[in-house]
Amino acid sequence: MVWFEIKKIFSRTGNKIALLLLAALLSLTCFLTVGSVEYVDEQGESASGIEAARHLREDKNQWAGEITEEVLLKVLQRDAEINASEEYLSKDVQENNKAYAKKQGFSDIRDMLNHAFTPFREYDYYRVDSLTAKEAARFYEQRVVVLMDWLNSDEAKDRYSEEEKNFIITKYRELQTPLYYEYADGWKAFAEYAPTIIMLTVLILAFPIAGVFANEFQCRAESIFFSARLGRNKAVRSKIYAGIWIITGIYWTVIFWYSAVVLGILGTDGAECAIQTSLGGWKSFYHITNLQNYFLIVGGGYLGSLFILTLVMFLSARTHSMVLPVTVPFILLFLPSFLSNLPVLSEVLGLWPDQLLQMGQTVCMFHLYQVGNKVVGAVPIIMILYPVLTCVLLPLLYRIYSRTEVK
Which of the stretches 40-48, 103-111, 155-163, 216-224 binds other proteins when contact is defined by CB under 8 A?
A: 216-224
How many Cα atoms within 13 Å fall on the side-chain side of residue 218? 15
Residue 20 touching other proteins (CB under 8 A): no
Please, what is the minimum distance in Å from the beta carbon of residue 229 to other proteins?
A: 5
Using CB under 8 A, pick the residue from 6, 8, 71, 255 that binds other proteins. 8
Residue 399 touching other proteins (CB under 8 A): no
Please, what is the minimum distance in Å from the beta carbon of residue 220 to other proteins?
A: 3
Nearer to other proteins, 11 or 161 (CB): 11
Residue 17 touching other proteins (CB under 8 A): no
66: β partners: 180
Please, what is the minimum distance in Å from the beta carbon of residue 215 to other proteins?
A: 8
Distance CA 158, CA 171 (A): 20
Which of the stretches 136-144, 190-198, 223-231, 336-344 binds other proteins when contact is defined by CB under 8 A?
A: 223-231
Residue 221 touching other proteins (CB under 8 A): yes
Distance CA 101, CA 321 (A): 57
Please provide the DSSP assignment of 156-197 as one string.
TTTTS-HHHHHHHHHHHHHS-SSPEE---HHHHHHHHHHHHH
Residue 317 touching other proteins (CB under 8 A): no
Residue 406 touching other proteins (CB under 8 A): yes
Residue 225 touching other proteins (CB under 8 A): yes
Beta-carbon contacts of 135 under 8 Å, excluding residues fewer than 6 positions away, are 117, 142
CA 110: distance to chain centroid? 24
Positive or negative: CA dihedral 135, 146, 102, 95 = negative
Nearer to other proteins, 76 or 317 (CB): 317
Beta strand pairing call for 65-66 and 46-48: unpaired
Q: Dihedrals φ, ψ of 92, to 5°?
A: -85, 125
Using CB under 8 A, pick the residue from 90, 161, 223, 370 that binds other proteins. 223
Distance CA 396, CA 382 (A): 21
Please, what is the minimum distance in Å from the beta carbon of residue 303 to other proteins?
A: 31
Residue 320 touching other proteins (CB under 8 A): no
Nearer to other proteins, 229 or 374 (CB): 229
Using CB under 8 A, pick the residue from 134, 220, 338, 371 that binds other proteins. 220
Beta strand pairing call for 38-40 and 180-181: unpaired
Using CB under 8 A, pick the residue from 133, 234, 295, 342 that binds other proteins. 234
Residue 348 touching other proteins (CB under 8 A): no
107-166 residues in contact with other proteins (CB under 8 A) are none
Give, rounded to a whole angstrom, the gap between the first and last alpha carbons of the chain: 25
Residue 232 touching other proteins (CB under 8 A): yes
Using CB under 8 A, pick the residue from 73, 89, 230, 396 that binds other proteins. 230
Residue 227 touching other proteins (CB under 8 A): yes
| CA proximity to 172, closest of 377, 372, 361 | 377
Residue 77 touching other proteins (CB under 8 A): no
Beta-carbon contacts of 30 under 8 Å, excluding residues fewer than 6 positions away, are 257, 258, 261, 262
Please, what is the minimum distance in Å from the beta carbon of residue 16 to other proteins?
A: 10
Using CB under 8 A, pick the residue from 11, 27, 94, 337 that binds other proteins. 11
Nearer to other proteins, 1 or 342 (CB): 1
Using CB under 8 A, pick the residue from 186, 195, 208, 231 that binds other proteins. 231
The answer to whether 357 and 196 are in contact (CB under 8 A) is no
Distance CA 242, CA 207 (A): 14
Residue 99 touching other proteins (CB under 8 A): no
Distance CA 313, CA 244 (A): 10
- The helix or strand, by DSSP H or E, that contains position 370, with its residue range, turns out to be strand 368-371
Q: Give the Å distances, CA to CA, from 130 to 85, 98, 119.
A: 16, 21, 15
Interacting residue ranges for other proteins, rule: CB under 8 A: 1, 4, 7-8, 11-13, 215-216, 219-235, 405-407
